[in-house]
Amino acid sequence: MNKTDKIEHTAFYDIPVGDCTWTTGFWAEKFKTCVDTMLPYMGELLCGDIGHALNNFKIAAGLKEGEHKGMFWHDGDFYKWMEAAVYVYAHTRDQAILDRLDEHISIIAQAQLPDGYLQTQIQLRPDVDRYENRKYHEMYNTGHLLITACAHHRITGQDNFLQIAIKHADLLYTIFFPETKRYGRFGFNQTQIMGLVELYRVTEDEKYLQLAERFINRRGRYAVEHDSSTEGYPIGDMVQERIALRDAEEAAGHAVLALYYYAGAADVYAHTGEQALIDALERLWESVTQRKMYVTGAVGQTHYGASSNRDKIEEGFIDDYMMPNMTAYNETCANLCNAFFSQRMMNIKGESKYADIIELVMYNSGLSGISLEGKDYFYANPLRMIQGAREYGVHENDTETPDREPYLECFCCPPNLVRTVARVSQWAYCLTPEGLAVNMYGANVLETTLRNGSTIKLRQETDYPWQGDVAIIVEDCQTTPFEMLIRIPDWATDAKLQLNGEAVSEPVIAGRYVRFERIWSAGDTISISLPMETQLIEGHPRIEEVRNQVAVKRGPIVYCIETPDLPTDARVLDVYLVGDQALEAKYQSDLLGGVMTISGQIALRSGDQEQMYSRVSRPQWDMHEVQMVPYYAWSNRGTAEMTVFLPVIWSAVPA
């Protein structure tokens, strides 16, 4: 039994990857696309000359001539793709995947230097010294190396990758555990914290946990000033170093850096139980999800901006409730990291509100980062896209376009998304000290071992998220009592539960778990009815950009309007939603891979306004019936305008 099974300060525990398998429906289809298209296509990119990631390792190993290509963090991109392959192998047990991974691991081992150092972006630049400047993202690459190696060991039982990770982490400990000013500020893109905790859980070597905690403790300890190790990258709030984590009141800086940092700190807390640490993490989670998060679960409001301390910010958090639509950055990695942080908080606290965020991200701002086909990617995920976006201050570069791209030079997001799709079934259930928690819905089969060592098999039948009826059927379990926690999503008011056809006496409250404890038998069935009402969602009054506007949501799915569904030549900026109408939900199997659409009446404002400001008379409306599609599926029908939030009119009557 390894340290994963001995985490003390947590309410929930992960099930092993592969114990829950999607069978039919939404996530089964996404996983099939992952296996058939996402993973192999990405492998062709990264292992070929376009992505050049494997080439970098071959060159460092002396197996190929050439120079480093790609971003400084490209090693980490490759490790994330390998992690996705490991998770797919956990489900398919495809020997070809394992053989290919072994080939890559052999090359990586040959690239590793005798003392354990492994960073191709440094090794292939003779004019750059190791740990010379944090802009080279050595810590980021290290984190993903350790995470992937631990996942590989757990799932395959092999230690060929794990030994590379141990050798590398031992070097990291030698350099970074001593208190020195030079290295005290270094670890700013801090996936290494999560990686070190994972390595501790696998090896039970305390020094890795101690080093992870030391990286947390150093943030905010040193004066914020430029030096040779910070050149080329903003400092201060941008990299979470102005304020110590335990003193932080709001999320600040680069959203991905911040959320990886918070997730790593949550991993450390699960072992140390330090009250000041969890208090800070709860404050930061509230800051992210209640004051800086979009209706899609996306985070990172701006490409360029300033923190509340007026530090320069890129790709990150800015002031509370400052939520632009067209210029929203919402990097795919940041959105996924929002789910990663919430997943850890869910395990620690055992509360449904964290699973609500995971669900929101995974059905909306996470999946929007990849095309339905599985081959094209978004880096940024705005809530509104229009033609001629440059005129409105949107920078149309390789990471912000109206169309997904088949390859992004900054390739951090695509493998992050693919590894998440490959493992999301692991989040559907958690173990509890007394039984099991059901966190996410989707047709699946669970076969796992409870904390007491007994086995359990469940089957979930549902057409979620398009329909709200879910049946959880016990197929095999122990003969003594155990608990089952059933999550009621925060949007599901008036949800109904039945046990074996009879209404339950336990309170059913949106945003909470319903707890059952009993002797279960094969055939016992929990029936859940989640009302799938189409809802209009308005923003907080302080979100100026969405005053008098609404978003449309049904169940966990946020909707948008795209120009392919508007009358010819209509623009999304001309669209007003008629608020007091009954919107119609309709499943269309032949549209966008099979989606539920929302249809209703909109009003188009006739006439063009050329001036910045002009006098207004009674507007002239053209009324039309249109359909809305899930936000995650936009930009799959050619170049299009799109908007999530729509200005709303009530009791509209054509003039």
- Picking from 455, 340, 439, 386, the residue whose alpha carbon sits closest to that of residue 644 is 386
Q: What stretches of 234-331 show up as alpha helix (H) in DSSP?
A: 255-272, 275-291
Q: What is the pLDDT of residue 5?
A: 54
Phi, psi of 261 (to 5 degrees): -60, -50
Q: What is the pLDDT of residue 2?
A: 42
**Nearest 5°: CA angle at 367, between 432 and 571?**
140
CA distances 518 to 71, 384, 435, Å, are: 54, 49, 11
CA distance 559 to 598: 8
CA distance 439 to 428: 5
- Statement: residue 506 has pLDDT above 70: yes
pLDDT digits (tens, 9 = 90+) for 210-266: 999 999 999 888 888 888 888 888 899 999 999 999 999 999 999 999 999 999 999
Comparing 183-192, 244-253, 265-274, 543-552, which segment has the lowest mean pLDDT? 183-192
Give the total residue count for the chain: 655
Strands 435-438 and 482-488, by their bridges, are: parallel
Residue type, 120: T
> CB neighbours (10 Å) of residue 234?
17
pLDDT band at 607 (very low <50, low <70, confident <90, very high): low
pLDDT band at 400 (very low <50, low <70, confident <90, very high): low
Q: What is the pLDDT of residue 180?
A: 85
Residue type, 390: R
> CB neighbours (10 Å) of residue 205?
16
pLDDT band at 186 (very low <50, low <70, confident <90, very high): confident
- Statement: residue 3 has pLDDT above 60: no
List of domains in the chain? 3-224+247-384+402-427 (1.50.10.20), 429-529 (2.60.420), 534-649 (no CATH)
- Picking from 282, 164, 196, the residue whose alpha carbon sits closest to that of residue 3 is 196
pLDDT band at 401 (very low <50, low <70, confident <90, very high): confident
CA distance 431 to 440: 13
CA distance 189 to 182: 16
pLDDT digits (tens, 9 = 90+) for 306-363: 998 999 999 999 999 999 999 999 999 999 999 999 999 999 999 999 999 999 999 9
> CB neighbours (10 Å) of residue 167?
17
CA pseudo-torsion sign 650, 320, 139, 17: negative
Strands 525-529 and 512-518, by their bridges, are: unpaired
Strand, coil or helix: 461: strand
